[in-house]
Amino acid sequence: MSSIARSFSSLKNTSGGQKLTDLMPGFTLCFVVAMSAKFVSEHYGGPVILYALLIGIALNYLSAEGRCVAGIEFSAKSILRFGIALLGARITLEQLMSLGFTPIVIVLLAVPATILFGFFVGRWLKLGRSQSILSGSAVGICGASAALAVAAVLPHSKDAEKNLIFTVICVTALSTVAMIVYPLVVTAFNMGPAASGVFLGATIHDVAQVVGSGYLMSDEIGDIATFTKLLRVSMLVPVVLIIALIAARWGKTQSDTKSKGFPLPGFLVAFILIVSFNSGGLIVPQVSIFMVEMSRWCLIVAMVGLGMKSSFKELAAMGWRPMVLMLAETVFLAVLVLICLEF
């Protein structure tokens, strides 16, 4: 009987000893706001991630004190990592192999080059190395999703959440601008359908904006752009893996971070396993679709929680340097891909 009682007690507690009843008010609030952001996005257009962030920031006062604090923290961290793990259901090795040789070479060159460019320019701008890597990964890989995944493995600091929020807002705004401007660039350079699709897929930050700009031009360009973007998304696995290993070494020298045991976080291991299972056909299509949709909702809820934990005043205090860095990374990526396509 005592073992049954202990098992029942464990169901009522989450990691960190928090009771489920303590988490429900804040989590429910984040979920309701996430549904509101989804409604606005579907009926009035625009990226749902950005709406979730902005509405969350408007409700920032709820994270200061009260019954919702624990649930907001849970949504911003645990729900976020669960959603990232489920992202693996979107990727298979077969999809990556169908992309051909040219986009693979461009992506394999552009992604690490953009991250390294962001790191060195960020250090030149006197920004922290974590923030520099975070922005470079967001621009180079897949926007807000990459920022969320990379931030989860970087060493913790007092500015970590502000850096993440600022990065997500900036990369979403830049991606929306790119969705409008880059088709004009493609037209100005008289690119063919294949080159146009590769350029759009290799440079625009978020998946939704890639799809929007690609299919706005033609179905053929949209297909190529989507596949190229998928390859960039697949780079999330090795990039986060490498950053996690590097961050584990950094943690040994930072007072606020300790490196213990296996250096890879559980959600990253789960992400890799889901990609492997999905590639082997071990996940049936109906389950895969459910996992992708679940991942999308988890990320929206997490962005609401992150928004509630920040404020415009705190973001404004970060200054002009982070924005200049992300703008420079965006221009660098576009120029690099154009040069690769020319040669």
Residue 10 has pLDDT above 50, yes or no: no
The model's confidence at residue 210, banded by pLDDT at 50, 70 and 90, is: confident
How open is the CA angle 269-272-277, to the nearest 5 degrees?
Answer: 120
The model's confidence at residue 2, banded by pLDDT at 50, 70 and 90, is: very low
CB 57 within 8 Å of CB 161: no
Work out the average pLDDT over 187-206: 89
pLDDT of residue 117: 95
| pLDDT per residue as tens digits for the range 247-288 | 777 654 333 444 444 445 577 678 778 888 988 888 888 998
CB 80 within 8 Å of CB 299: yes
pLDDT of residue 1: 41
- More reliable by pLDDT, 250 or 17: 250
| pLDDT per residue as tens digits for the range 98-128 | 656 778 889 899 999 999 999 999 989 888 8
pLDDT of residue 16: 46
Instruction: Output phi, psi for 159, to 5 deg.
Output: -100, 5
Indicate the range of 85-89, 134-138, 167-171, 249-253 predicted with least confidence.
249-253
| pLDDT per residue as tens digits for the range 47-101 | 787 788 788 888 888 877 778 888 888 888 788 778 878 877 876 777 666 656 7
Where helices occur in the chain by DSSP H, the ranges are: 2-11, 20-44, 48-58, 69-74, 80-86, 93-97, 101-124, 129-140, 144-151, 160-188, 193-203, 207-217, 219-234, 236-251, 266-279, 285-308, 312-316, 321-342
pLDDT of residue 316: 64
Mean per-residue pLDDT over the chain, rounded: 80
Q: Token digits for 207? A: 């998946």
- pTM over 0.85, yes/no: no
- For residue 114, CA distances in Å to 3, 20, 109, 167, 175 come to 53, 42, 9, 15, 15
